[in-house]
Structure 1
């Protein structure tokens, strides 16, 4: 569930908001009615990022007919 909350109220109720976020709630913090920040549960990006990278690499097209020596040459060429 996502709720908007003013910055002053968020400051005065931070402990309560953090407990709610621990239970999965999301808050948008506003200043004069304008959204400026989101208070959401922490995500461990390392494992999530690795999974996304693996999926992206699996979706890359395979290059057929290129020898390993050619690939090594291309890599070496790019390092100059």
Structure 2
């Protein structure tokens, strides 16, 4: 298991170096922001899922057009006629 570097900043210092702290967190460093000498928050990256729309395009067969109007017969079925 790799050891992460702990970096602690006061709120005042964090405000002026936020971009650098974000880069450090993304690089795997443990970034802690403190009020005075008391640690209060940890800056951590949000995991990226890699989810992409359309990855199964063309593999599912024919997909109905849900915006197309219903035929008279289908409409009658829905309306209970």
TM-score (normalizing by structure 2): 0.49
Asked which structure has the greater CA Rg, the reply is: 2
TM-score (normalizing by structure 1): 0.49
Larger helix proportion of the pair? 1
